[in-house]
Amino acid sequence: MAPMRSDEIRERFVSFFEQRGHVRLPSGSLVPPDWDTSVLITTAGMQPLKRYFLGVDQPPAPRATTVQKCFRTVDIEQVGRTARHLTFFEMMGNFSFGDYFKDYAVECAWELATSKDGFGLDAESIWATVYEGDERVPPDEEAADLWRRIGVPAERIVRLGSDNFWQAGPVGPCGPCSELYLDRGPAHGCGRDECAPGCECDRFLEFWNLVFMQYNMLEGGALEPLPAPSVDTGSGVERVAAAVNGLHSVFETDIFSDAIAEIEQWSAARFGADPEQTRSLCILADHARGMTFMAADGIRPSNEGRGYVLRRVIRRAAVHARRIGIEGLVARRLQELVVTRIGDVYPELRERQSEVADVLDAEEARFAQTLQTGQALLDEVLARSGDQISADDAFRLHDTYGFPFELTAEIAADHGRSVDEAGFARLMEEQRARARASTQQVGFVVSEIDAGFTTEFVGYEQLDVHTQIGALAEGERGAITVKLRESPFYPAGGGQVSDTGFIETESGRAAVEQVIRQDDDQQLVAVIERGTIAAGDRVHAHVAAEARRPTQANHTGTHVLHAALRRVLGEHVTQAGSYVGPDKLRFDFRHDAPLTPGELAEVEGLANEWIVENHPLHIFVTSQDAARKLGAMMLFGEKYGEQVRVVEIEGVSRELCGGTHVRTSAEIGALVILRESSSSQGVRRIEAITGQAAVEHLRSRAGEAGRLEAEVAELRRQVKRLERSGGPAAPSGNGHEAALIEGAGEEGGIRIVAAVVDGVDADSLLQVSDRVKARIAPGVVVLGSSTDGKVHLVASVDGQAVERGISAVELIKQIAPIVGGGGGGRDTMARAGGRDPDKLGAAVEAAESTIRDRLRQGG
């Protein structure tokens, strides 16, 4: 058959069923309707039609067909590792609402799959699977008989277990299913003799699933018959496109190929060059569709529910873009590729393009800061780890701070360390299991507990305590509300976020997600991770120190900042609000005018002066009158009891405060003001960071200043040269190019330029290499540079040099590891990125040596 594009596949499927009495219905949103709380995101074609199957609503016709937008998070880690897995996909389906059942569904599927007017697949290569049955549901011998009657031999009918009982969520319509697989031959598979449908390799491609809806699954797993047996089938556009065109991977189809080719032009990666480059390209192409469709359907990035799914997709795309050398924000560019390719099929993509682009841009820009914070936390982990980073540390970086595991492993390897990948995978699987068991992951149901006692907060002194669960109430979706006799967990209040951590008994463990303040009392909201937890259990309560410590530094930082503002601006400055978390501090204060750059610099300088002077903190409880006589700052309008807690930074400030703090000002490390703005009329706002985050920010500043200084020095040298020659100002890069051409070497009639060029970014380096190559032809150019601590390499080879055996991509693959990076390209041009500027000289020298050796060998 001639190649079949995805647009034709989509239309051929729907038209086939329209001709057989099915009504064409539009795709539903990725956001399920309000009445469907079983899933976060639409994962199957039948979900928008669920009420028809249940008999709750009257369908528009007894038969229907759709192409439905779907997204499945369960496959996200497999994208790019197999030839078939995706997150976002288009599910073609035909549906019978109590009309026809198994026999006609099997007949239609076989005709469309094998006929010349359909998909034209080789009938001799198609296998079928049926449900083998369990204690509740008998084996589906009826479906097996139907496949035999239609021409599938018994040896190509496989009986499978739970994978062949289909359900769209923990409750709702379900039933046994029968799948069609295409055997694409041993070259696509694992090589095992027993390889067959159900194997995880790519030989047998599942391309159609026929679900025979017979039951409604109730809470707890009980089954009841549906009002009328129905049919729900699903066939992925992407997999059918690979099957009918004889392609190994869905990423080779027209659905993705144009986008991947464009992404290759942005990067140093090439599809098929090596597994890691290919995987990153696949992830970018897949996640481009996922983020674009989710945002166009109104989902917005957040820390919970479907918003977290979108956030995760954007962040994974950003990481993989950087891994293949793409600089700057990439999400908007990926969205443009999707809109160009499929915007005519899904007009909402064009209608909301500008709005979606802004959403994606904003989230990716925020993640750039997250990466910086995660790097600082990873540095702390490396400092206290031995040869291997623990699974718990890697998982915490990934799950709590959004720092991708791949990046943790890569940076650890640069330090000669490994990561407990098996342990991390186990923790991830436990998390997935919890997600599968509770598919709706939005919020918690908090139950008020009348326990008859007040929890004793001991978290000022201890982060680990052994105590007892005095009372417990169960909420929804695995959430529990707990009251401890003694608690180390700080409850949210006074601008400070609550602690997180875990509670663990002999029989179970739960992650503490929130600590809710109730006047002088508190209760925990936690999610059970394993086992059971009950009232009366003895429990180990542990606060996540990696979040508490930077939070403490930030809280003490607000006191230092407050004192500095009063010293610089005047004593009219008083606190009007604050946020204190592990990531940053925000301080609102009463002042009528924006701070000048000089005032900001003075405030920041004074705060850091006090930090370096290592002033001790004295924290004590006294009467309100005594605190007032001591001059302790009190917030206007705040209600205080007779006994108050005073936090004194010796010689700096004295305030009433119930938050957690460091022991001396030096433990703050450093304080960096990020921005100053208006909060409301007469109230200004400062955002700042402390500790390791501040140190990393200052390092970045220093690197930028050094780069600018180097650029200024080079410009001054160029000006002096021009003044001596009396010539006009030269365009950027010409000074480099003249020196490079002048210093070119030669081997066997091929000229060679291999050099390090200071202060040139990746794109400019490529332009310089192209111009130098044109002027030294026949020749080879290998250049390296570094900006902002990032290494850039480019190799450019003309046609005659390629004929002599010199390949740009081979050169890059050889020298990129020297600078701690990787890249790719083609014979005439290749690029790479890296992380070790100190090794640039060695990389370039290695390239020149290889070039000369190859030319000598080739004569």
Among 64, 47, 103, 52, residue whose Cα is nearest residue 227: 52
Fold held by 6-250: BirA Bifunctional Protein; domain 2 (3.30.930)
**Residue range 284-313, pLDDT digits in tens:** 999 999 999 999 999 998 767 788 889 889
Matching CATH topology for 6-250 and 456-543? no
- DSSP letter, residue 94: E
Considering the domain 555-576+593-672+688-696 in this protein, what is its CATH number?
Answer: 3.30.980.10
pLDDT band at 523 (very low <50, low <70, confident <90, very high): very high
pLDDT band at 679 (very low <50, low <70, confident <90, very high): confident
Q: What is the pLDDT of residue 161?
A: 87
272 token code pair? 């098929």
Q: pLDDT exceeding 90 applies to what percent of the chain?
A: 50
Nearest 10 degrees: CA dihedral of 801, 804, 808, 811?
Answer: -130
Asked whether the whole model's pTM tops 0.75, one would answer no
Residue 147 near residue 128 (C-beta atoms within 8 A): yes
Residue 232 near residue 211 (C-beta atoms within 8 A): yes
Among 591, 29, 675, residue whose Cα is nearest residue 306: 29
33 token code pair? 């309707």
252 pLDDT above the threshold of 80 = yes
User: Comparing 622 with 737, which gets the higher pLDDT?
Assistant: 622
635 token code pair? 């917030």
Average pLDDT of the chain is: 87
Residue 112 near residue 119 (C-beta atoms within 8 A): yes
The region of weakest confidence among 118-127, 168-177, 381-390 is: 168-177
Which of 232-246, 377-391, 416-430, 706-720 has the highest average model confidence (pLDDT)? 232-246
444 pLDDT above the threshold of 70 = no
- DSSP letter, residue 738: H
Pairing between strand 165-167 and 126-131? Answer: unpaired
Residue linked to tokens 């290592």: 614
Among 490, 491, 475, residue whose Cα is nearest residue 533: 475
740: three-class secondary structure by DSSP: helix
Q: What is the pLDDT of residue 728?
A: 37
Sign of CA dihedral 600, 604, 605, 607: positive
Residue 441 near residue 489 (C-beta atoms within 8 A): no
Distance CA 342, CA 285 (A): 13
pLDDT band at 586 (very low <50, low <70, confident <90, very high): very high
CATH architecture entry for 734-858: Roll (3.10)
Query: Within a 13 Å sphere around the CA of 810, how many CA atoms are in the beta-carbon half?
Result: 11
List the beta strands (DSSP E) in 358-462: 388-389, 418-419, 456-457
Among 427, 398, 535, 510, residue whose Cα is nearest residue 500: 510
Q: 655 - beta bridge partners? A: 633, 647
pLDDT band at 602 (very low <50, low <70, confident <90, very high): very high
Average pLDDT over every residue of 561-588 = 92
User: Comparing 548 with 714, which gets the higher pLDDT?
Assistant: 548
Other CB atoms within 10 A of residue 29 CB: 18
363: three-class secondary structure by DSSP: helix
Q: What is the pLDDT of residue 322?
A: 84
Q: What is the pLDDT of residue 385?
A: 87
Sign of CA dihedral 102, 105, 110, 113: negative
Distance CA 19, CA 477 (A): 44
Fold held by 456-543: Elongation Factor Tu (Ef-tu); domain 3 (2.40.30)
The region of weakest confidence among 204-208, 647-651, 855-859 is: 855-859
Sign of CA dihedral 490, 491, 493, 498: positive
837 token code pair? 């500027």
356 pLDDT above the threshold of 50 = yes
The region of weakest confidence among 66-70, 209-213, 377-381, 445-449 is: 445-449
Average pLDDT over every residue of 121-139 = 92
Q: What is the pLDDT of residue 156?
A: 95
- DSSP letter, residue 124: G
Q: What is the pLDDT of residue 400?
A: 61
194 token code pair? 């027993």
Residue ranges per structural domain of the chain? 6-250, 253-375, 456-543, 555-576+593-672+688-696, 734-858
652 token code pair? 């700096």
Q: What is the pLDDT of residue 441?
A: 33
734 pLDDT above the threshold of 50 = no
Rg (C-alpha) for the chain, rounded Å, is 32
Nearest 10 degrees: CA dihedral of 108, 109, 111, 114?
Answer: 170
Among 247, 290, 255, residue whose Cα is nearest residue 272: 247
Residue linked to tokens 């400030």: 653
